[in-house]
Amino acid sequence: MGEPKSYDIVGHVAIIELDDADEKAIAEKIMQNKSIKTVAKKLSAREGVHRTRRLEIIAGEKNLETTHKEHGMVYKLDVGKAYFSPREGEERQRIANEVRNHETVLLMFAGIGAYAIAITRRNPQSKVYAVEINSDAYDYMKTNIRINRVDALVYPLKGDVRTVCKNMDGRFDRVIMPSPSNAHEFLDVAIKCLKKGGFMHFYTISKEGEEDAGKGLLIKEAKKLGRNAVNVESRKVLPYAPRIWKRCVEARIA
């Protein structure tokens, strides 16, 4: 019997990537974990601006809507309709710990609201404006804001960040861009939204040996806008593929 190449659990759903066609035996083995009610296999990488992937249920309940618990927070979502990675839980906590109370934060590509909720639960006097283009993810974000009782702290905004944020210049103490595949396309918007001296968290994908590529992009874009990126750092977040990493580029934008 083959083994899954990777294996994520989101609520009651196990999401696997197979290295052979022995699906039934693999699914039965995974479902020995009694908390797993559904096994789905990946049919694609994440696609499009919604960052969703095609899934096929191969065992268990025909239900991809689930409730996921993480660090005392609860997230409701359909794993086939909205982006969410359980592997980023520690990164969400790290960012939440970076934010200070009384900060006003812009969260681009907010998904189901996990970063926004983690931040405001950790910093109950901060405010997060959370922008998401995917209607399904946006609806789940509103539900999760209510479930986690941060209604007064998180402001969900639906639409493309370039449109939603066009009149927000200089409003934010911090901007977070947790979409590594396309965040670089919106660096100009993010930098304009930051107050002088504000903080940027910009996620990107880089190969080993090209760790400074994201730093260079941020520095270059800031200069084009008459700003300076200072104290620029690039840190590994998660492996993305062999010898390729998801990284977080962080800087103060003067």
Domain ranges of the chain: 4-63, 86-253
Architecture of domain 86-253: 3-Layer(aba) Sandwich (3.40)
d(CA 104, CA 113): 16
What does each of the 254 residues of the chain score in pLDDT, given as a tens digit?
Answer: 455 556 899 999 999 887 666 788 888 889 899 999 999 998 877 777 788 888 999 999 999 999 999 999 999 999 999 999 999 999 999 999 999 999 999 999 999 999 999 999 999 999 999 999 999 999 999 999 999 999 999 999 999 999 999 999 999 999 999 999 899 999 999 999 999 999 999 999 998 888 888 999 999 999 999 999 999 999 999 988 888 899 999 999 99
Predicted TM-score of the model (pTM): 0.93
Contacts 24+ apart (CB under 8 A), 123-126: 123/96, 123/99, 124/153, 125/101, 126/99, 126/100, 126/101, 126/102, 126/153
Q: At what angle do helices 135-147 and 114-122 cross, to 10 degrees?
A: 20
Whether CATH 2.60.40.1930 fits 4-63: no
Asked if 84 and 111 touch (Cβ cutoff 8 Å), the reply is yes
Classify 119 as helix, strand or coil: helix
Residue 1's pLDDT is 46
What is the pLDDT at residue 235?
Answer: 93
Q: How far apart are CA 238 and CA 205, in angstroms?
A: 10
The residues with which 40 forms a beta bridge, in sequence order, are: 15, 57
CA distance 79 to 144: 14
> Tokens 């922008």 map to which residue?
131
CB count, 10 Å around CB of 23? 16
Contact present, 88 and 237 (Cβ < 8 Å) = yes
Report yes or no: 11 and 70 within 8 Å, Cβ to Cβ: no
Beta-ladder partners of 155: 129
Q: Can you tell me the distance from the alpha carbon of 240 to that of 207, in angstroms, rounded to the nearest whole number?
A: 9
